[in-house]
Amino acid sequence: MCGRFESKKIDQIVIDKLRERGLPVEVDKDIIPRSTEDIKPTEKILSILPKNETLFVTKVNWGIKFKEDSPLIFNSRIETIKEKPYWTKLFSENKCIVPMTGYYEWKTENKKKIKYKIFLPDEYLFYAAAIYTINKNKDVCASLITTESNKFASQVHHRMPIILNLDDALGFLNDPADLNLKRCVPYDNSKKMEMELAL
């Protein structure tokens, strides 16, 4: 996880939710609203990042690539972030959140890989914690932070994204690393998750 996710008709919803709280919001003029049910690495993804005392809503590249021949890092393990200084610095200084309505995993059943969508039935929209870099072309490139799966998600995969509600997502953008590390844990087993076959 997470190699695909869903972002279904959320662009304006995200903006409205931030403005309802009276938060200073800047919206990238180049955003083109779209409904995407199967977002892949390297594609543009909706993201929110702090910018000069405002929340900047923009589209960023999904995946960090340091060199032409280096692998695309579209997920970053929280364990690596804790252990390696470069990633720890990104976690402290270059944080963003990625709104989504579900994410996908594949489970091997009868020697076939079956695609499932995992989502929160009581929350249409949730936020994934992420970090970003800015490449030589001045493009913002983000990587989703993952942790070990909770009991429910482990039925399909051993990793999952850091799933946050809006309050914790906003806290993630503003709080220091020590507080954010406490947020970067598997989704609470007591909260409801569901999965369905994805066609």
The CATH H-level superfamily of 4-197 is SOS response associated peptidase-like (3.90.1680.10)
Nearest to 5 by CA among 95, 78, 77, 101: 101
Mean pLDDT across 106-115: 90
Q: What is the pTM of this model?
A: 0.95
Residue 65: partners with Cβ closer than 8 Å, 6 or more residues away = 71, 72, 73, 135, 141
Q: Is residue 131 pLDDT above 90, yes or no?
A: yes
Mean pLDDT across the chain: 93
pLDDT over 90 (residue 36): no
| pLDDT confidence tier of residue 33, bands split at 50, 70 and 90 | low
3 versus 147: the higher-pLDDT residue is 147
| Span 64-96, pLDDT tens digits | 998 888 899 999 999 999 999 999 999 999 999
pLDDT-wise least confident of 109-113, 115-119, 188-192, 194-198: 109-113
121-143 as b/e: b if 16+ CB within 10 A: eeeebbbbbbbbbeeeeeebbbb
Q: Counting beta carbons within 10 angstroms of the beta carbon of residue 160, is it exposed (0 to 12), middle (13 to 18) or buried (19 or more)?
A: buried
Per-residue pLDDT band for 37 (boundaries 50, 70, 90) equals confident
Give me the pLDDT at residue 69, please: 84
